[in-house]
């Protein structure tokens, strides 16, 4: 098992490559329908699009993110915590740049799950005017087995 | 509408979490995890005998409650939640919250809230906090 201080240093050393994501009208319609959204103002995306845009537009895949944390999608990775700030309403049809990277990694141990690493990454969602429309912070839990 | 400490966010109720909408979200999010659409995978993982809703969709139900309360999605400034349990296909859930503090910041009146998503059998599967423009 990799030392947690080594892992943290590895992760926070480099930002993700920049990526981008466009909120397509039909995808937004289907997403709003699937999450049972109340009616939204014309052209305004559901606020969850801060998260959806960040994840879909970040410059690495989830598989690459898991690999960077010395894990994989079939290792029982769990969502620990998820937060976002919404600074400007997200707009349907808009293309956003996504930038950011890992910010922390901490190791914990529980009787039920054994050793686990909590890895946090933060992504800014930037509109075409260069304004940060939202910030998404997520923590994944990587099970590492018993001590 | 007056927003004060103790003001409750009107609940957003889902009578039956749809397994079909899980499939839509799996496609939209390019989420390859089969626990959202294949019961056998859920059983094999020892997680139950029904497909499991996506965590962000569960969080969206809380955001829906806030939108329904305030009428304007732009008034949601931040929301952070912890995922404490799974929501299974066919379950009922209810999102809710309560205002815990009122404060002024940069000329705006903000309300801090505790928020949650509770299953029909009383499990708090999501807990967290949100800040809105009061």
Residues in CB range of B15: below 8 A, 6 or more apart: B92
| Per-residue pLDDT tens digits for B3-49 | 999 999 999 999 999 999 999 999 998 888 888 999 998 888 888 89
What residues of chain B lie within 8 A of the CB of A79, using their CB?
55, 83
What residues of chain B lie within 8 A of the CB of A80, using their CB?
82-83
**Whether B56 and A82 lie within 8 Å, measured CB to CB:** yes
pLDDT band at B125 (very low <50, low <70, confident <90, very high): very high
Summarize the confidence of residues B55-71 as an average pLDDT: 97
| Per-residue pLDDT tens digits for A13-28 | 889 999 999 999 999 9
User: What's the confidence (pLDDT) of residue A147?
Assistant: 62
Listed as own residue / partner, the contacts of B23-26 with beta carbons closer than 8 Å and 24 or more positions apart are B24/A30, B24/A31, B24/A33, B24/A34, B25/A31, B25/A34, B25/A35, B25/B54, B25/B56, B25/B57, B26/B54
* Other CB atoms within 10 Å distance of the CB of residue A146: 8
Q: Max CA-CA distance within chain B?
A: 54
Q: CA of B4, closest CA in chain A: separation in Å?
A: 22
Q: Provide the ipTM.
A: 0.95
User: What's the confidence (pLDDT) of residue B7?
Assistant: 98
The DSSP string of A102-140 is EEEEEEEEETTTEEEEEEEEEEEEE-TTS-EEEEEEEEE
* Other CB atoms within 10 Å distance of the CB of residue A117: 22
* Other CB atoms within 10 Å distance of the CB of residue B23: 14
Query: What's the CA dihedral at A1, B55, B84, A137 to 10 degrees?
Result: 60
Mutate to test the interface with B, among A21, A26, A38 (most CBs of B within 10 A): A38
User: What's the confidence (pLDDT) of residue B46?
Assistant: 83
In the predicted model, residues of chain A with pLDDT beneath 70 are 147
């Amino acid at each position: 098992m990799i030392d947690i201080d080594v892992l943290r240093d590895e992760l926070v050393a480099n930002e993700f490559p920049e990526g981008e994501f466009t909120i397509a009208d039909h995808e937004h319609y289907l997403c709003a329908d699937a999450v049972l959204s109340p009616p939204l103002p014309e052209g305004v995306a559901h606020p969850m699009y801060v998260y959806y845009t960040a994840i879909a537009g970040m410059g690495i895949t989830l598989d690459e993110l898991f690999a960077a944390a010395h894990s994989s999608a079939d290792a029982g990775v769990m969502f620990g915590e998820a937060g976002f700030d919404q600074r400007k309403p997200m707009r349907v049809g808009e293309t956003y740049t996504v930038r950011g990277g890992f910010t922390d990694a901490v190791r914990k141990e529980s009787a039920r799950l054994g050793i686990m690493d909590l890895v946090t990454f933060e992504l800014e969602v930037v509109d075409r005017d260069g304004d940060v429309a939202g910030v998404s912070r997520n923590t994944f839990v990587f099970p590492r087995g018993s001590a | 509408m007056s927003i004060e400490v103790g003001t409750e966010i009107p609940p957003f109720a889902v009578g039956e979490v749809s397994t079909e909408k899980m499939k839509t979200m799996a496609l939209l999010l390019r989420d390859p995890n089969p626990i959202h659409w294949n019961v056998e995978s859920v059983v094999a993982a020892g997680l139950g005998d029904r497909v499991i809703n996506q965590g962000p969709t569960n969080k969206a139900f809380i955001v829906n409650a806030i939108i329904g309360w305030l009428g304007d999605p732009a008034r949601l400034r931040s929301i952070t939640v912890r995922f404490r349990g799974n929501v299974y296909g066919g379950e009922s859930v209810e999102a809710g919250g309560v205002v815990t503090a009122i404060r002024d910041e940069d000329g705006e009146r903000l309300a801090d809230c505790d928020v949650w998503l509770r299953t029909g059998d009383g499990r708090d599967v999501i807990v967290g906090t949100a800040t809105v423009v009061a």
